[in-house]
Structure 1
């Protein structure tokens, strides 16, 4: 076993660490991660609003049934859900601007103008606008306050998670065009006497024209087939999204994240840029089902990993922190006590680097094994309906059991499962902590 771990450690240092470091510093992946980070506050608030207007108090067969809530939602739900529609419902707008802003800054271009360029590119491909006649219909008048005449209508079907892949691809292409034209001095430069904000905005004139020339024929051709570009791209990625909502896919994500952490790299930060479009797309599907009163379909959605796997942070290290706080070794006991409170809020750097877990072959076994066990148990619990599926986003610093309760629309089973997994992780980590104690004693 020791020989295997030595070989694995050497392989990690020689091959995985350089590759992971390059991925962590890759400009497009960094921009992708930043785009979702910038959008996250809006998505969390929007999810919370959706949760409030869909609380499990409307089923007459349930002991939680509340007539006052049913009456309140009947009167006001249509208005109160609006913040959800302009946050989660248009998330691709936020993400496209964020990607453009981040990638432009990394290329030493103007971030604001780059963000607007990517937003323009996304709207060009994903939000067809037309004028439609408005009949003198009472429902139309009540909703739009328009009594007849013509009204501009934008197709918003692909502004939510359905447009994420289009937003990502389009943003990358737009900024690369911007960078190329700026490098080749194919942009309009105004005299130094012109205010900087105006000068920077005029730089975009030629990139905008270039994007129109490139995109318009593609748009026309795709629309002639009866589709829009986001639909075409979503159909292309459909097999990947479908395959991602499976236990093997979840375990693969966990394996990559924790091997990177073992090498001393922030595994979640490296992987999150890749998996965010998938888990947010799945979350949007679940939220649409919740709104419609249908069965919630997706398991790997939103904060599934935060609620059931990363309990205390990567490695489910809250259990490790508690086990270390009961250690007979002064060093481990001090680190455990120091790391328990941050661990409640999923901050585990004191444990990761204080124990340490990094490059520690003894603790690496449960550090990888506990999340795999947690994920497997949670997967089947959700799959079989013992606990609810994720329908809402909560901040990643929310303690795991509380996050499980909120994210699943107050599924008590999810809360109990998450608490149980913390306890299980403590019992799994404890014998490895004792082995580690002995190894430290031998070293001293």
Structure 2
């Protein structure tokens, strides 16, 4: 008997798409790229902590010191950190571990050179903002450029069969050559040809950022991660390219408000993750499913709902994702996709029409604060509570028929098991 179309589709996802995606994300260059961004998260979160501190500090100026410098020398130097970490992680992924530190330091040198500083009266200066989050795309490009040079030199395998030169001298030469080439080639472009790569790179990536800030781009970016998450592939897998869009966009929002303007960009981590409307209970809006499980006729689902509700409140949904399971379950995968699309549409409409404020604070990657507290905190708008309730109500309605269908199967299975034991 031939398989049903849905079963064929699920088999295609499970045995073709998922292995192919996992194989792609495990490739050394891709893994190193994503890891390079993820490893910088502690510095981003440090800047977030200072934001919370600065909310309270003005009320106790004589007791609490000004710690803005901590943020300035962590989050505000994000691009410089990415330039190092990108090369460091790429060298590790490519099995050139002896090049990790030297390559990372070369990435810093190359990035500072690419910033095209100016010298006035013997004083060399670089625009401070270029070290911050707006330059993260440039830092990624510089990091990949340095990584390629180090990788090519490593592949030459210099001194493979040479025992006459001392080992420490061999190591010096192996390091000097890629350092020299990395800086020399960049120096020719930046200094000799008088090219400023910073605005050029930003301009090249501007169309991608522009598309990401449209409604279709906004929906696609959220749905893309949700789709693969329903296949068991973590959203962290895509953190590298997503943050390359998210972080500069939010930095532009903050700068615009500081200059007396208005925030314009919605495709940011603060909107897609932080306010917890598009990810209510975790990616895929699974809080509604968790709530229905609490009242389930199935003993297994009811127990699962009780166990998973606490993590779900903090937008952690791996327990229910793999516990029900949702992964590779066509009945429960579809409402994940639908809820993500619908909630993202609601957020887009209410923010574009001014019914909910666009976040203007930089709290990237903070997605475990319970909603609606996070919604109000990120937006500074009490109407966030209303829209949280609306999104939750919509999610409950969307999940209900799919949940009842799955619940019926589970109840029948439990009844059959009980009968078999009798």
| TM-score tier (shorter) | 0.7 to 0.9
CA distance in 2, matches of 1:438, 1:352: 19
Following superposition, the deviation at residue 99 of structure 1 comes to 1.3
Contact 1:324–1:332, Cα closer than 8 Å, also in 2: yes
Question: How many angstroms does 1:191 deviate by?
Answer: 3.8
**Structure 1 position 153 matched with structure 2 position 107:** no
Give the alignment of 1:4-403 within 5 angstroms: 4-50=5-51, 80-108=67-95, 109-110=97-98, 111-126=100-115, 128-133=116-121, 151-186=123-158, 191=166, 203-220=174-191, 223=194, 228-266=196-234, 268-306=235-273, 307=275, 308-390=277-359, 391-393=361-363, 395-403=366-374
Partner SS for 2:119: strand
Instruction: Give SS of 1:287's match.
Output: helix
Structure 1 unaligned blocks of 5 or more: 56-67, 134-149
**Does the 8 Å contact 1:118/1:174 carry over to 2?**
yes
Change over 3 Å in CA distance of 1:310–1:345 after alignment to 2: same
Matched residue count: 402
* Number of the residue aligned with 1:422: 392
SS of residue paired to 2:306: helix
Cα distance change on mapping 1:201 and 1:430 into 2, 3 Å: farther
CA contact (8 A) 1:392 1:406 kept: no
Pair 1:285–1:337, CA change in 2 (3 A): same
Q: Is the 8 A contact 2:39 2:85 kept in 1?
A: yes
Helix, strand or coil at the partner of 2:373: helix
Task: Quote the Cα distance in structure 2 between the aligned partners of 1:202 and 1:310.
Answer: 51
| Structure 1 residue 179 displacement after superposition | 2.0
Deviation of the 1:327 alpha carbon: 0.5
CA RMSD of the aligned region, Å? Answer: 3.0
TM-fit CA distance, 1:102:
1.1
Q: With structure 1 as the length reference, what TM-score do the two structures score?
A: 0.82
CA drift at 1:415: 4.0
Contact 2:304 2:323 in 1 (8 A): yes
The verdict on how the C-alpha distance between 1:297 and 1:84 changes in structure 2, with shifts beyond 3 A counting, is farther
2: distance between equivalents of 1:45 and 1:210? 35
TM-score scaled by structure 2? 0.86
In the alignment, the residues of structure 2 paired with residue 277 and residue 222 of structure 1 have an alpha-carbon distance, to the nearest angstrom, of: 28
